[in-house]
Amino acid sequence: MAAKFPEGETRIASALRELEKHGYLSRTKERLPSGQIVTRTISYNKPQTRTARTAHVAPAARREPVPDLKEPEHPAPTAPTGRLPLPDTPDLPAHRTARNVLAGLRTRDPRLHLAERDVRRLAPAVAVWLERGMAPDDVQRTLSAGLPPEGVRHPAGFLAHRLTALLPSPFEPEPEAATARPAPLQNCDGCDRAFRSPRPGRCRDCRPACVAA
């Protein structure tokens, strides 16, 4: 309106407020579906009462539905929570060897340096490996092989995972064949010489003479 009339923006705004005050004009704000807020102006030939003006209320803005946030169908993978293996029998020398195996890993790779409490916690699992026929050097070689190139942030957790995931199968050596017991000693009935035989009789030298007679 200020662009069409010479009165100026201030005088036009003052006149509109005056008309609105006496009921010849009403202005309400509305929200379009796009979210934009516009002012709706209505003029009247007859002045409106205050009740009629207040009754004309702009419709409430439509609230957009809030999307239902559901849990993802495939949760993020977590670290393995399996228990560490425990030896069948408490063997103090084996536990001492297991602690030396763990403490010596830092000589193979400094990234596998363990605190004392971690050595005590992991030692029973290493004892299981030793119990299943693994040599200490083989255990160290398996645990320290193929470390990730980005490094090992938590050596204790990394080794706990390997001790569980790479646990060797039980090894039971086959029993040795029973050695045959030698035949008992017998006294020869012919020459009274001792010889081995399952039953009494004559020795090998006296047997042909006995048959010939």
Residue 152, burial from CB neighbour count under 10 angstroms (0-12, 13-18, 19+): middle
Q: Does any domain span residue 121?
A: yes
What total number of domains does the chain contain?
2
Q: Give the 3-state secondary structure of residue 25.
A: strand
pLDDT at residue 117 tops 90: yes
Q: Does any domain span residue 128?
A: yes
Q: Does any domain span residue 108?
A: yes
Residues of the domain holding 115: 92-145+155-165
Encode pLDDT of 129-180 as tens digits: 998 889 999 999 999 999 998 889 999 999 999 999 999 988 776 666 656 7
pLDDT of 158 reads: 95
How large is the average pLDDT for residues 61-87? 52
CA distance 181 to 197: 12
Q: Does any domain span residue 72?
A: no
How large is the average pLDDT for residues 88-117? 87
The answer to whether residues 44 and 97 belong to one domain is no
**Closest by Cα among 120, 114, 129, 116 to 159:** 114
- Give residues with Cβ within 8 angstroms of 116, minimum separation 6: none
The answer to whether residues 50 and 113 belong to one domain is no
Q: Does any domain span residue 66?
A: no
pLDDT at residue 99 tops 80: yes
CA distance 36 to 33: 7
Tokens (6 digits) for 179: 């050695």
Who wins on pLDDT, 205 or 116?
Answer: 116
> Is-contact 99 119, C-beta < 8 A?
yes
**Closest by Cα among 79, 76, 78, 77 to 156:** 79
pLDDT of 36 reads: 79
How large is the average pLDDT for residues 188-193? 80
Encode pLDDT of 11-61 as tens digits: 767 777 777 777 777 777 788 777 778 777 777 777 766 655 554 544 555
Q: Is 3 left (phi over 0), alpha (psi -120 to 50) or beta?
A: alpha
CA distance 12 to 21: 14
Percent of the chain topping pLDDT 90: 30
- Using only C-alpha atoms, what is the Rg of the chain? 50
Q: Does any domain span residue 68?
A: no
Who wins on pLDDT, 182 or 3?
Answer: 182
pLDDT of 6 reads: 57
CA distance 210 to 207: 5
Q: Does any domain span residue 199?
A: no
The answer to whether residues 104 and 159 belong to one domain is yes
Q: Does any domain span residue 212?
A: no
pLDDT of 209 reads: 65
Tokens (6 digits) for 190: 């012919």
